[in-house]
Amino acid sequence: MESTIAQKQTFRDQLPTADASGGRRWLYPRSTSGRFTRWRTVVAVVLLIALFAGPFVWVNGHPLFLFNVLERRFIFFGVMFWPQDFYLVAIGLLTFIVFVALFTVVYGRVWCGWACPQTIFMEMVFRKIEGWIEGDHNARKRLDAGPWTTEKVVKKSLKHGVFFLMSFAISNTFLAYLIGRDQWLTLITDDPAQHLGGLTAMLVFTAVFYLVFAWLREIVCTTICPYGRLQGVLLDKNSLLVAYDYIRGEPRGKRVKTGPSGGEELSVKLCSVRQSTHHAQKGDCVDCKLCVQVCPMGIDIRNGTQLECINCTLCVDACDGVMDKIDRPRGLIRLDSQAGIEEGKPFRFSGRILAYSAVLVALLGLIGFLLVSRPVVDATVLRAPGQLFQREPGGHVSNLYLVEIINKTYRPMPVQFRVNQPGASLRFVQPIASVPAGELIKGSFFIQLPEKTIRQNSTPLRIDVLAGDEIVDQIQTTFLGPVK
């Protein structure tokens, strides 16, 4: 009990992953099972399949996802985006941030424990591989503490070999998202000498993933990831999180039973507790520390909400198992709010949650409108630099313009340009009849105006871009003429 009090007083002064001298304290989380673990496994399997399949799913001959930064080509759920659509990406990112913030206010770090790729790969892939090769937490601890025997060399080599292969698979998937399925296939099947840059990138990504999952592990969540740092300002007393019911659990301690000789108290093992425990003075926590042993972040949730907690619910399952054994109701550690624990208040929507929801709905509406109204052809027209105007025969004045046209669809797009000004005519230097699917083409054209219609040195003009008979873009520009 004294050590528990001492720990309560000092736990905020030290990192769970650092020893007294500041060195790394390696964690050996115990495996557990339960309803939340089963659901997390289902969610993880679905997300892993989606993640690995993502770059290889094509619909109507086009990838579903592509994030080709080098060639500035982006496809999201089959819709093609160009750098010119960056305002949509910015609004989309803003929406995503508000969405995550809203979720954090309401559901705590549910993203971290259930959907973050770092947690899914670490806990559902790499930690599982480690357990299969090296055994459960005690076996792993013994192996690390012991001398370098043949068994240790074999197990460590095998584990790190599999880790490297897994990192290689993740790296290839990541690369396929970046450069696309076909370029990735060329990269791995072609002569390596032709693709030194791509192969180097593949090895660098592999090394980074291996470093993250073999060595950094929980440090990514506790020290590197900015979202974890934000948690403290996003949570409030009504946020749903993994919480220990200290009112029910304290004072914690081993159960005691009255022995056959009468009056003598002795500590008992959990499995024998059921028949003769009494709960008069003690809370429901039997201080078995299973919740601490299963925690992948190395924390004791009984100390209260902590920055390190990723809401993985492993401690909930571990504690529920203990409560089942001692015939107490489940939920000593459960998903609840601080207010719910302290005051027995049911979960409710606070004003802050409603405000966040309103902002989120408005942003979703805006991004939906912008997506629907996004032109399928994007044209940029600029007057040729260094040129003013030219006088032409027949009393005309002309200006030279440079044009860039992007076709954001998957089919060739016939285009025409029309100047919305009486007496004006437009003449391409090299005619552009259509823009190939998903391509950007450049050209130049002259606009001519009768000199007698020019009233100012800079005349505003509107150029309509037509695909067939439909106006798909409108461009405002100016026409320079002789000063009157």
Q: For residue 242, give Cα distances in angstroms to 249, 300, 342, 445.
A: 15, 12, 14, 65
- Tell which one of 116, 299, 454, 463 touches ligand SF4 (CB under 6 A): 299
Tell me if 315 contacts ligand SF4 by CB under 6 A.
Answer: yes
What DSSP state is assigned to residue 272?
A: G
Which is closer to ligand SF4, CB of 170 or CB of 288? 288
Name which of 400, 396, 403 is nearest 449 in CA terms. 396
- Provide the mask over 133-172, with x wherever binding to ligand SF4 is found by CB under 6 A and - wherever it is not: ----------------------------------------
Tell me if 66 contacts ligand SF4 by CB under 6 A.
Answer: no
Residue 294, H or E segment: helix 290-294
Which is closer to ligand SF4, CB of 85 or CB of 317? 317
- Identify whether the C-beta of residue 407 lies closer than 8 Å to the C-beta of residue 376: yes
The least distance separating ligand SF4 from the CB of residue 241, rounded to whole angstroms, comes to: 8
The least distance separating ligand SF4 from the CB of residue 320, rounded to whole angstroms, comes to: 8
DSSP three-state, residue 266: strand
Residues 213-242 that bind ligand SF4 (CB under 6 A): 242
- Provide the mask over 270-289, with x wherever binding to ligand SF4 is found by CB under 6 A and - wherever it is not: ---------------xxxxx
Q: For residue 287, give Cα distances in angstroms to 48, 80, 122, 250, 252.
A: 36, 56, 28, 10, 6
Which is closer to ligand SF4, CB of 85 or CB of 320? 320
Rounded Cα gap, residues 172 and 199, in angstroms? 10
DSSP state string for 128-184: HHHHHHH-SHHHHHHHHHS---HHHHHHHHHHHHHHHHHHHHHHHHHHHHHH-HHHH
Residue corresponding to tokens 């549910």: 110
Tell me if 312 contacts ligand SF4 by CB under 6 A.
Answer: yes
The least distance separating ligand SF4 from the CB of residue 68, rounded to whole angstroms, comes to: 36
- Tell which one of 106, 125, 322, 432 touches ligand SF4 (CB under 6 A): 322
Angle at 25 between CA 158 and CA 332, to 5 degrees: 100
Angle at 145 between CA 13 and CA 160, to 5 degrees: 95
- Tell which one of 122, 234, 318, 405 touches ligand SF4 (CB under 6 A): 318
Judged by CB under 6 A, how many residues of this single chain contact ligand SF4?
29
Residues 241-270 that bind ligand SF4 (CB under 6 A): 242, 244, 249, 252
The least distance separating ligand SF4 from the CB of residue 109, rounded to whole angstroms, comes to: 8
Residues 97-136 that bind ligand SF4 (CB under 6 A): none
Which is closer to ligand SF4, CB of 114 or CB of 356? 114
Which is closer to ligand SF4, CB of 288 or CB of 432? 288
Residues 330-369 that bind ligand SF4 (CB under 6 A): 332-333
> Burial, 245: exposed, middle or buried (Cβ in 10 Å; 0-12, 13-18, 19+)?
buried
Residue corresponding to tokens 């009468």: 262
Residue corresponding to tokens 């340009």: 417
Binding site for ligand SF4 (CB under 6 A): 242, 244, 249, 252, 285-291, 294-295, 297, 299, 301-302, 309-315, 318-319, 322, 332-333
